[in-house]
Amino acid sequence: MRPLGEIFDIAAGKTMSAAARAGENKLPFLRTSNVFWDRLDLASLDQMAMSDAELEERNLLPGDLLVCEGGEIGRAAIWDGSVERISFQNHLHRLRPKPEMIGRVDPRFYVFFLQSGFTQQGIFEGAGNKTTIPNLSRSRLGALDVPFPSLAEQQAIVTVLGQLREAVDVQGVSLELAEALRHRVMADVFSKGIRGEASKDSEIGDVPTSWDVVEFQTIRQDLRYGTSVRCTLVPATHPVLRIPNILSARIDATELKYCDMDSREAERYALSDGDLIFIRTNGVIERLGLCAVYRGTPEKALFASYLIRARLLPGVDPDFIAYFFGSGVGVSLISSRATPAADGKYNLNTGIIDSLLVPIPSLDEQRAIAAIIRACDQKVELHRKKVAMLHEFYLRLLRDLMTGEVRSDQLAVPDEMIRSAA
């Protein structure tokens, strides 16, 4: 173990001022908002005036270690050299290996160690200065005791953790692409259909010529508010679905509450296969009106008072309707009709839901469209699970490596695992 200041020269960035903001010879600089754990976000770079002398003192070179002085103190990443002339603000520390340490340290190893130390092990608790806004001063950063293994061991650890980070990033990009595909598919199928028909203008925008546009009340049998019975986390006779359980067209039953209720009373709020469940109050307008389709899971489920249940007529596919209300057009329709509440929330009632316009193609086309969007959902969920699995594996291995429970010579992550994950 050595103090971090014995391994790296630690430099402070330039303070932003009115003069720096208004001056000439402006250059981009990094802020804490650009630095995340083991990655940089360069989508938004601020600029300040900086002389050649100041840049000479506060420039960034590829391989420099950047550590946040404020915000999430200790958060660190490596400068990648993607911008040639760039500096950093005073809320960041720049760490560069001391001359005698060149060839003996891999700065990225210390990114990983700082992440484990600050977020997992708590070994740097109290490292920040005790001010209104916690900050990590240069002296305190330099005094932090960190491990100093051989360069070979540092590089071995960086290699395996870097591979996992790369796999997470690849899956993250795949997830973003899958979500973008779903969004585009939903926009297309609800305006163009899937039969190659010409479009017509309607009250909800373009729809295929053979489609009807009707009020929701014409396609439902029953519309009802949920129960206000007291619920607990203790398992009981009936699970009760609440707002957090309602996602676009599907139910997330991982966190449930329960209640006991007289069977006759429970019958009023019992869900049946194919029921739609609407969110009727929420502070987030994009989630208001979002509806899920109940498919018998969890069994004997009821629904809470902040939800509304709709039971549809035969000939209407509930998945098609749920996907429509989760589409851009559906969200816009609901947002335009929602009632603002004093607490910053927006509310729906049964009257508003009944008056919402919905497109109705043939039942066969409804089912085909729902199947297409469901396939997109499955692809999104696959990538979401892979991201979560790989991130969990990364954090576990990060902790084990940085506590010595696993040593680098014990690592043998198969290449096929990395390839399949990516």
**Structural domain boundaries of the chain?**
2-147, 163-173+379-421, 212-360
Q: CA–CA separation, 153 vs 99, rounded Å?
A: 20
Alpha carbon distance 181, 165 (integer Å): 24
pLDDT the model gives residue 367: 97
Does residue 177 carry a pLDDT above 80? yes
Instruction: Give the tens place of pLDDT for each residue, 193-234.
Output: 999 999 999 999 999 999 999 999 999 999 999 999 999 999
**Contact criterion met (CB below 8 Å) for 213 and 202:** yes
Dist. CA 368–CA 194, nearest whole Å: 8
Token pair for 127: 């490292």
Residue with tokens 């585009």: 184
Take residue 125 and report the two structure tokens written for it: 């608790």
pLDDT tens column, 295-346: 999 999 999 999 999 999 999 999 999 999 999 999 999 989 999 887 788 8
Nearest to 338 by CA among 326, 351, 352: 352
The residue among 206, 117, 42, 8 whose CA lies nearest residue 398 is 117
pLDDT of residue 129: 57
2-147 to CATH, choices 3.90.220.20, 3.40.50.2300, 3.30.565.10, 1.10.150.120: 3.90.220.20
419 falls in which pLDDT band (50, 70, 90)?
Answer: low
Tokens of 350: 């049964």
Angle at the Cα of 270 (from 267 to 273), degrees rounded to 5? 130
Phi, psi of 226 (to 5 degrees): -80, 180
The β-bridge relationship of strands 339-340 and 92-97 is: unpaired
Cβ pair 43, 132 in contact under 8 A: no
User: Looking at residues 131-159, what average pLDDT do you find?
Assistant: 88
Q: Which residues contact 266 (CB under 8 A, 6 or more apart)?
A: 237, 238, 300, 302
* pLDDT on residue 37: 96
Strand blocks (E) in 139-229: 145-146, 199-202, 205-208, 212-215, 220-225
Gap between the Cα atoms of 387 and 408, Å rounded = 24
Superfamily the domain 212-360 falls into: DNA methylase specificity domains (3.90.220.20)
Q: Cα–Cα distances in Å, from 81 out to 7, 165, 390?
A: 22, 19, 27
Average pLDDT, the chain: 91
Q: Is the pLDDT of residue 95 over 80?
A: yes
Of the candidates 340, 342, 256, 346, the residue with the CA atom closest to the CA atom of residue 303: 256
Residue 231: count of CB within 10 angstroms of its CB:
19
What's the whole-model pTM score?
0.79
Beta bridge partner(s), residue 359? 213
For the beta carbon of residue 28, count every other beta carbon within 10 angstroms. Answer: 17
In terms of Cα–Cα distance, which of 287, 95, 69, 328 is closest to 191?
Answer: 328
**What counts of helices (H) and strands (E) characterise the chain?**
12, 27
Residue 412: pLDDT band with limits 50, 70, 90: low
**Which run of H or of E encompasses 331?**
helix 328-337
What's the token pair of residue 236?
Answer: 């009981």
Tell me if domain 2-147 and domain 212-360 are identical in fold: yes
pLDDT at 30 over 70: yes
